[in-house]
Structure 1
Amino acid sequence: MNKTLVTILVIAATVITIAITLDYSSNRTVDWTESYNEKSNKPYGVSVFYKELPKLFENQKLKPIYYSPYNYFYANSEDGYGDHVAEGNYILVGNSDYLDDADVEELLIFAGQGNTLFMSDYNFPELLLDTLNLGVKVIKSQDSIVRLSFTHPDIKSKNTEIDKSDSASYFSRFEAENHKTLGYINNDLNLTNFLEIPFHEGTVYLHLEPKAFTNYNILKDDRYRYVEGVLSYLPNQTIYFDSYTKFFDSYYGDAEEKSSLSWFLQQTSFKWAWYLALLLTLLFMIFNAKRRQRIIPIIKPLENTTVGFVKTISNLYYETQDHKNLIDKKITYFLEKIRSEYNLDTPNLNEEFITKLSQKSGKNKETVKKTINFINWLRTKNEFFEENLLKLNKHIEEFYS
């Protein structure tokens, strides 16, 4: 047998043996991190809750929102460039700390237009609390258990408790005459943790125990019935679910750090299989480094004139119909020119940015607003057509005209 093959087989067998030994001897620990990720099967992910939503809201669409509320709801409004007008229930469980003032304002606008906003977290953005005249405080829980109760007698049978909780939150201040108490904690009616707040033509529901919606609690005993009770207050309409995963570009922040490979690398067997594949590939390259191929003839490169190069690149994009790539490049180049020419930061393309750009560039504010709003709308889309590219080019040319 070939020496090279024998060596590779011996090393492969050794690595496989080590991987199997480590897999059986390793102590499998449970990750109790509170991620509230709708794709996570860990105890404090919310994949079970997310998958059950279509059953709780019959015949309604479930739309995961991978963008900030400011970008998504502005684009999908009467004044935006979206493919529909957003109407229904917006659900956010945990992770509300990423919301900035512009997001909060857009969520309140959405609710005020006759829609429903439901948020469950230990606390909420300061702007939201100030706008609704609310205060939140935290108390220590006894025996790491928090008891959750409803005020309505018809659903008191759905009361439950949450374990593994060192503390609990409650509303220390709210407008009793305008805000309706729906739930409380630890059998104390003064410790309100679930409120119904009328807001213009819509309704805001705020809940202070996001753990109730996690995999661990929904699958334990009959605690899922509490979640059914909470959601029974929401109308049977389209569900907009605030996803843990956010698709940001360099102008809005970093995207989710974990890659698609991260889950596999957390599994010992898959991890060693991956490393083994890399190792065998490396060994194959090393042992086959001897010159076996014929001498590669020298081919004179094509003359790279400026016009020829531009034509080649243009034809490449035209043939592949890669509209997304062209749109991304045009947006990147346009914002880079704004930063260099007008010394403006471009992380947040909001109303304040539009005003500053109009003032510094001397351009008509309406023209600037149309260009920036169209860019914001494009960032909410996953599929692009030639019409989108042409319209973007038209907006940019109008800005520079």
Structure 2
Amino acid sequence: MQSFSRDEDLHLEKQTFSYKDKAPGGCYVMFESLPSFYDGGHPSVVSKPFAASVKKDQTLASGEGVIYYLVTNKLYTSVQDVDAMVEFADRGNQLFIAAVDMDSILISRLYTKISETSAGSIFEKPHAEEHFVNRSLSPDSVYARDSIRDGRYFTLLDTARTTILGTDRLHRANFIRINVGKGQVFLLLQPSILTNYFLLYKQNLGLLEKTAAYTYGYAAVYWDEFYKYNQYPHSGDFSQWSVLMRYPALRWALWLMVALLALYAIFESKRRQRIIPDKVMLTNNSLEFVEALGQLYYQQHDNANLAKKITLQWLEFVRTRYYLNTNILSDEFIRRLSHKAGLPLADIEAIIDSIHFVQLADKITDAYLKEFYSKIQAFYLNTK
């Protein structure tokens, strides 16, 4: 893991908040840490506006217990996006937003107000602190880092449904939770504390653990990668071409590519090239070897040996695909495999029962071998 010097000044223009960025201003550490908090794989990455994503993703559209992380410098939304976000939370999900500047459309919809300027003075040495209000987290609930300027703070809250979770070094609320229907919206005005630069300093990674502890359920976890690159107000319409034409660098690159293709078509259209014969595809001898070996065991009626080979191959698949320990095939193993593979619990239990029988049996009939093979094949075909 990468570390950074104490004197390095982390400016907003250097922060990308990208889950791939291992530089000080990236969120690589946070993204890689989230699976450990929710006992699952990495979050699903979203690269389109919220309203457009809801239309195409069934889990976002109708799921419950979903957590959506959005970390950016400036958050600009459309009315359609805000409506979709509120409906998403109201259904029983959680929306976690960390941003310095938040769109007034979203803020007014949540009945809150934010200060126009940051909490500290520009003449002071940059030093950010985050205090958790929950007294049960003391005494290790304060996290700090130099070279990060203070963020903004909330000046108006709907106290009937809002809980203050954290404050800055001047004890002004900058991290809140708002109840929306069955779900919740988290607003954090200091996204810099979620960057690699802050989290890798001393014990600051504990801040991320305490922040995630406020969330509940983990039917699915999503990570937004759209709004951090959308630093200007936009309409509800969205297309791939609109993204390309929004940024000058991408716009010039697109027109340059079109010009080069046009020149290539003009000068190369007169060139003739003889037909290149098709190259014979190489056969996969390893697959043929495995198939031949299986046929050999089957023809010799060595069913017990063949069933054990099938078992070893299946256990290896589970280890490499789902990162599960297969040394002990317990009820907990069955439950976790059923959750990760997306298959009914009864199907996994049937396979494990068959494996226990195969490991203890000296002889196996042809009928039982075919039934066992059918269960394994059904798992391969239906697993996610």
TM-score class, shorter-chain normalisation, is: 0.5 to 0.7
Q: Which residue of the partner structure matches residue 275 of structure 1?
A: none
Q: Which residue of the partner structure matches residue 351 of structure 1?
A: none
Q: Which residue of the partner structure matches residue 111 of structure 2?
A: 133
1:27-46 paired onto structure 2 within 5 Å: 33-46=14-27
SS in 2 for 1:147: strand
Please point out which of 230, 237, 250 is paired with 2:241: 250
1:97-112 paired onto structure 2 within 5 Å: 97-112=75-90
Report the residue type matching 1:198 in the other structure.
N
For the 8 Å contact 1:170–1:193, the answer to whether it is kept is yes
Q: Which residue of the partner structure matches residue 383 of structure 1?
A: none
TM-score, normalised via structure 2 length = 0.54
For the 8 Å contact 2:27–2:196, the answer to whether it is kept is yes
Q: Which residue of the partner structure matches residue 143 of structure 1?
A: 125
- Residues 257-286 of structure 1, C-alpha deviation per residue, up to 9 Å, x if partnerless? 889xxxxxxxxxxxxxxxxxxxxxxxxxxx
CA shift for structure 1 position 64:
0.7
CA shift for structure 1 position 254:
4.3
Cα distance in 2, alignment partners of residues 252 and 164 from structure 1: 33
Cα distance in 2, alignment partners of residues 196 and 101 from structure 1: 21
Flag the 1:55–1:64 CA change in 2: closer, same or farther, 3 A: same
1:146-157 paired onto structure 2 within 5 Å: 146-156=128-138, 157=140
Q: Which residue of the partner structure matches residue 338 of structure 2?
A: none
Q: Which residue of the partner structure matches residue 305 of structure 1?
A: none
SS in 2 for 1:139: coil
Cα distance in 2, alignment partners of residues 223 and 257 from structure 1: 38
Question: Could you list the runs of 5+ residues in structure 1 that have no partner in the other structure?
Answer: 1-28, 260-295, 300-401
For the 8 Å contact 2:60–2:88, the answer to whether it is kept is no
Flag the 1:139–1:114 CA change in 2: closer, same or farther, 3 A: same
Flag the 1:233–1:210 CA change in 2: closer, same or farther, 3 A: same
SS in 2 for 1:169: coil
Structure 2 residue 171 is the aligned partner of structure 1 residue 180: no
Flag the 1:258–1:89 CA change in 2: closer, same or farther, 3 A: farther
Structure 2 residue 94 is the aligned partner of structure 1 residue 116: yes
Flag the 1:95–1:103 CA change in 2: closer, same or farther, 3 A: farther
Structure 2 residue 198 is the aligned partner of structure 1 residue 217: yes
Cα distance in 1, alignment partners of residues 155 and 39 from structure 2: 36
Q: Which residue of the partner structure matches residue 207 of structure 2?
A: 226
Cα distance in 1, alignment partners of residues 100 and 146 from structure 2: 15
Structure 2 residue 189 is the aligned partner of structure 1 residue 196: no
The aligned length equals 231
Identity of aligned residues (%): 20
Flag the 1:63–1:144 CA change in 2: closer, same or farther, 3 A: same
Flag the 1:163–1:298 CA change in 2: closer, same or farther, 3 A: closer
Cα distance in 1, alignment partners of residues 155 and 161 from structure 2: 15
Report the residue type matching 2:128 in the other structure.
V
Cα distance in 1, alignment partners of residues 57 and 75 from structure 2: 23
Deviates more, 1:125-134 or 1:29-38: 29-38
Flag the 1:227–1:254 CA change in 2: closer, same or farther, 3 A: farther
CA shift for structure 1 position 250:
1.1
Report the residue type matching 2:120 in the other structure.
K
For the 8 Å contact 2:162–2:176, the answer to whether it is kept is yes
For the 8 Å contact 1:245–1:256, the answer to whether it is kept is no
Please point out which of 131, 137, 143 is paired with 1:160: 143
Cα distance in 2, alignment partners of residues 78 and 146 from structure 1: 36
CA shift for structure 1 position 86:
7.2
- Residues 341-383 of structure 1, C-alpha deviation per residue, up to 9 Å, x if partnerless? xxxxxxxxxxxxxxxxxxxxxxxxxxxxxxxxxxxxxxxxxxx
For the 8 Å contact 1:162–1:211, the answer to whether it is kept is no
Report the residue type matching 2:133 in the other structure.
T
Cα distance in 2, alignment partners of residues 297 and 95 from structure 1: 53
- Residues 30-83 of structure 1, C-alpha deviation per residue, up to 9 Å, x if partnerless? 985011111111110111111111112113662111111111112224997xxx
Q: Which runs of 4+ in 1 moved over 6 A?
A: 255-259, 296-299
SS in 1 for 2:82: helix
SS in 1 for 2:164: strand
Q: Which residue of the partner structure matches residue 353 of structure 1?
A: none
Q: Which residue of the partner structure matches residue 335 of structure 2?
A: none
Please point out which of 46, 62, 65 is paired with 1:65: 46
Please point out which of 18, 35, 48 is paired with 2:29: 48
Question: Could you list the runs of 5+ residues in structure 2 that have no partner in the other structure?
Answer: 1-7, 231-237, 251-270, 275-384
CA shift for structure 1 position 207:
0.8
CA shift for structure 1 position 166:
3.3
Please point out which of 138, 149, 152 is paired with 1:169: 152
